[in-house]
């Protein structure tokens, strides 16, 4: 793919970008995230699950299955985590996922600085690479929403992402899934 799309990664270009360059790139990423999220499915889950007819009708159910598979993989390779506490919190907080009723296309690590290409001369977005971590779920599960800039949110079509208590809980649940290495979110779990 990199042979066909020119540019350096955002990670590499960051020192040479002006604040306005970065705002323009973030705004464009927001527009693209919104366009990707316009694609919908009739069920939730990984692309493979949905394509094989094994998708779930509930985002809560699909998310819990995905989360459990990550926990089991961690247990299988002896990663030391407080599994009982994680499962307890997941069970306690997962009702917040019921508000998501339309399965949207989500690229989990969309916007990651090593996957965003920037033209070195124009300092504009020139491409996105590695769209492999994709599923049908809540668009706010994308890494781009972990710490969104106001420009990214403007491009996405909303000036504020997290408003209600349930939205905050969902975002808290999504953060651990985006870690590249298994870890624990240091944020306190809210009470329902």
User: What pLDDT tens digit does each residue of the chain (192 aa) get?
Assistant: 556 778 999 999 999 999 999 999 999 999 999 999 999 999 999 999 999 999 999 999 999 999 999 899 989 999 888 999 999 999 999 999 999 999 999 999 899 999 999 999 999 999 999 888 899 999 999 989 888 899 999 999 975 565 788 888 898 898 765 443 333 344 444 444
- Distance between CA atoms of residues 74 and 104, nearest Å: 27
Q: Comparing C-alpha atoms, which of 32, 29, 59 is closest to residue 46?
A: 59
CATH number at 8-175: 3.90.1200
What's this model's pTM, rounded to 2 decimal places?
0.83
pLDDT at 177: 52
């Amino acid at each position: 793919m990199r042979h066909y799309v020119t540019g350096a990664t955002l990670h590499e270009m960051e020192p040479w970008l002006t604040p306005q360059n970065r705002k323009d790139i973030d705004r464009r990423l927001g527009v693209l995230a919104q366009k990707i999220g316009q694609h919908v499915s009739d069920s939730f889950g990984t692309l493979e699950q949905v394509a094989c007819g094994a998708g779930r009708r509930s985002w809560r159910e699909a998310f819990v299955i995905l989360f459990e598979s990550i926990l089991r993989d961690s247990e299988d390779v002896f990663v030391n985590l407080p599994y009982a506490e994680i499962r307890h919190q997941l069970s306690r907080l997962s009702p917040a996922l019921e508000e998501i009723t339309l399965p949207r296309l989500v690229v989990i690590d969309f916007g990651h600085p090593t996957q965003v290409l920037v033209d070195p001369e124009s300092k504009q977005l020139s491409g996105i690479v590695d769209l492999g971590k994709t599923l049908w779920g809540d668009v706010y599960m994308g890494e781009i929403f972990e710490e969104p800039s106001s420009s990214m949110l403007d491009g996405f079509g909303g000036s504020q992402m997290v408003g209600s208590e349930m939205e905050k809980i969902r975002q808290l649940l999504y953060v651990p899934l985006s870690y590249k290495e298994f870890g624990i979110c240091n944020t306190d779990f809210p009470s329902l």
